[in-house]
């Protein structure tokens, strides 16, 4: 039995084919087809500066209703791109989409990223190299091809197709709480928490936090959030390492274990020059747990013990 094709999707597919052909012609070997059937592509973008050459890999999934009703789903791979700079670039790409809604925008995105790389390469000195040291200082792994596509992450991102479409301008910035810092061997960790119910609010919280110069200057701003979707009886959740590899995933795992919902936790780390090894993950999770308890998302240890005593549960010894 033949598949029924939505006429609008057929028009979108034709527009995608024409756009991809044009981009392939313009960028040549820089443009790469990862999975044509799934509409997954990537392009390597560079600043073309000899002294401070910066590169980034833009990975893209084209949803069936792009460009008529949905934006491309994308991921930018660049180890040096973190924090406020990543947020700034994401905002500029979103602005392009909103301004050209319903149009093909990949060429505009690629050139905007290239402009960003040029601006960064001209304005940065040895800071770039210093940032890279901070990113990998605690990692015991070899530097792989950081520009290579991470299809698993990209496919997960595809589930959030409507992230950019959530343009509720009447949404207010959720209240942000700041927790007590933890300092160990000159590295300082501080948690921040905000109630969130939409991806738009997640973005608003990040933008608000980065207005604080101290937070914006942190070596890493790791975050995770969980939003419960009543209509689908499922969670919308995501995390960001911000250069502290695996930290975002561990933080999200903690939120899952604690079964919290409609909340976002950010942990800022200011690296003090001394490697902490696995202790850094302990401090990140302890910061998150403390602020979740302080704000009432999780019962404190004392309350949990009292609750356990009331229900007369048998004592069990946890092994570590």
pLDDT value of residue 206: 93
pLDDT value of residue 52: 63
What is the spatial order of strands in the sheet that 40-46 belongs to? Answer: 31-35, 40-46, 55-61, 73-77
pLDDT value of residue 50: 59
Q: Are strands 31-35 and 40-46 parallel, antiparallel or unpaired?
A: antiparallel
d(CA 270, CA 85): 17
pLDDT value of residue 2: 42
| 20, 29 contact by CB (below 8 A) | no
CA angle, residues 193, 196, 200, in degrees to nearest 5: 120
DSSP state of 71: P
pLDDT value of residue 123: 73
pLDDT value of residue 8: 55
For the four alpha carbons of 295, 298, 304 and 307, in that order, the dihedral sign comes to positive
* Upper half-sphere CA count for residue 219 (Cβ side, 13 Å): 21
| 50, 122 contact by CB (below 8 A) | no
Residues 6+ apart with CB under 8 A from 247: 220, 222, 241, 267, 280, 281, 284
pLDDT value of residue 107: 93
Tell me whether the omega of the peptide bond preceding residue 63 falls within 30 degrees of 0, making it cis: no
**Domains defined for the chain, CATH in brackets:** 8-121 (3.10.110.10), 177-295 (3.30.230.30)
Tell me the mean pLDDT per 10 residues along the chain, length 320.
52 90 89 85 80 80 88 84 82 88 91 89 54 39 42 51 44 88 94 92 91 92 91 86 90 93 95 91 94 87 46 38
**CB neighbours (10 Å) of residue 277?**
9
CA 83 distance to own-chain centroid: 10
Please give the model's pTM, rounded to 2 decimal places: 0.52
22-25: list long-range contacts, CB under 8 Å, 24+ apart. Answer: 22/107, 23/106, 23/107, 23/110
pLDDT value of residue 315: 39
* Upper half-sphere CA count for residue 215 (Cβ side, 13 Å): 22
DSSP state of 301: H
CA distances from 302 to 138, 231, 299 (A): 35, 35, 8
């Amino acid at each position: 039995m033949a598949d029924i094709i939505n006429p609008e999707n057929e028009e979108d597919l034709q527009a995608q084919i024409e756009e991809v052909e044009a981009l392939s012609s313009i960028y040549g070997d820089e443009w790469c087809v990862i999975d044509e059937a799934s509409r997954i592509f990537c392009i390597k973008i560079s600043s073309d500066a000899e002294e401070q050459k910066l590169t980034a890999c833009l990975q893209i999934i084209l949803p069936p209703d792009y460009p008529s009703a949905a934006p491309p789903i994308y991921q930018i791979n660049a180890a040096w791109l973190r924090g406020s700079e990543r947020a700034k670039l994401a905002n500029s790409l979103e602005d392009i989409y909103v301004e050209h809604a319903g149009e093909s925008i990949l060429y505009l995105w690629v050139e905007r990223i290239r402009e960003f790389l040029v601006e960064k390469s001209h304005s940065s000195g040895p800071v770039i190299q210093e940032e890279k040291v901070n990113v990998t200082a605690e990692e015991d792994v070899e530097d792989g091809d950081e520009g290579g596509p991470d299809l698993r992450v990209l496919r997960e991102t595809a589930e959030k197709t409507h992230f950019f479409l959530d343009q509720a301008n009447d949404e207010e910035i959720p209240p942000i709480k700041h927790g007590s810092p933890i300092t160990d061997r000159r590295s300082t960790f501080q948690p921040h928490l905000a109630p969130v119910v939409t991806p738009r609010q997640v973005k608003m919280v990040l933008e608000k936090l980065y207005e604080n110069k101290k937070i914006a200057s942190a070596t890493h701003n790791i975050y995770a959030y969980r939003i419960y979707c009543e209509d689908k009886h499922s969670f919308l959740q995501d995390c960001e390492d911000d250069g502290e590899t695996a930290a975002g995933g561990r933080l999200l795992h903690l939120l899952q274990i604690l079964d919290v919902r409609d909340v976002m936790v950010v942990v800022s780390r200011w690296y003090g020059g001394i490697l902490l090894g696995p202790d850094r993950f302990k401090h990140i999770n302890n910061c998150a747990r403390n602020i979740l308890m302080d704000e009432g998302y999780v019962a404190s240890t004392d309350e949990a013990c009292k609750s356990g005593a009331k229900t007369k549960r048998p004592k069990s010894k946890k092994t570590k």
